[in-house]
Amino acid sequence: MAFTIAIAGKGGTGKTTLAALIIRELVRAGKKPVLAVDADANANLHEALGMPRPESIADITHQINNNLQPLPAGMTKDQYLAFRVHQALAEGDDTDLLVMGGPEGPGCYCYVNNLLRGFIEELSKNYPYLVMDNEAGLEHLSRRTTQNVDVFLVTSDASVRGVRSAGRIKELAESLNLGIKKMYLVVTKTVNGTLPALKEEIEKTGLELAGEVPMDEEVYRYDLEGRPLVSLPENSPAVKAVRDIMYKAGIL
């Protein structure tokens, strides 16, 4: 099975940026191929990786369940679904990408999440590393798409509210017995003096701090220009910070 890294946190804390830079460092360290899983309904990890957006599991299930495409002769619905999802896996030189997509109906992710768990379990056997970018908030944890994780990184922006939200994610994850081996806090968008100011709140969460990702003008510029974050230069403060975090968390 793949060494699995999952990232969670409230919206706007840089989860996708962190996921993309972790993948960048894994590839550069020769720990490839990497299976990237975008489990956020607002999928944009492909942009950070510089890959085309593949067809999502949700798109495929919608087409099949609503009979928008006829089943091939001799194939059951489940067989055809598995075939289509394997087709939808976007393959890159060193990274392959699977996208979950949106819900199948108002507020309902159940079937899509069940499929996602099964396909991840099957696909991960072919990769040394798996990186999962989860959606914002807490619900994905209760749907159990994040299970049997080697390193679980909870992101917070440089705010008390962000750190407290990270603490609630930790509590929920522990209550659900998700089989997470190591859990860390990553504080993003920091400036000088951020961590000392947040020290007391961080300690209250019980999360071990893996590190911080500072505000980085290069990241802002790449996002502004729509350039993939995996092509950030070596001297990028964000790149250096993520590499340090990976060493601290035992990923590298």
Q: What is the pLDDT of residue 27?
A: 98
Q: What per-residue confidence (pLDDT) applies to 85?
A: 82
pTM for this model (two decimals) = 0.91
pLDDT confidence of residue 159: 96
Contacting residues for 193 by C-beta, under 8 A, at least 6 apart:
none
User: Which CATH class, in words, describes the domain spanning 3-248?
Assistant: alpha beta
pLDDT tens sequence across 19-47: 999 999 999 999 999 999 998 878 899 99
* Selection from 126, 94, 76 nearest residue 26 by Cα: 94
Distance CA 192, CA 45 (A): 29
Q: Count of CB atoms within 10 A of residue 109's CB?
A: 22
**Residue ranges of domains in the chain:** 3-248
Is the separation of the CB atoms in 100 and 56 below 8 Å?
yes
**Omega before 33 within 30 of 0, i.e. cis:** yes
Residue ranges in the chain modelled with pLDDT below 70: 102-116, 137-147
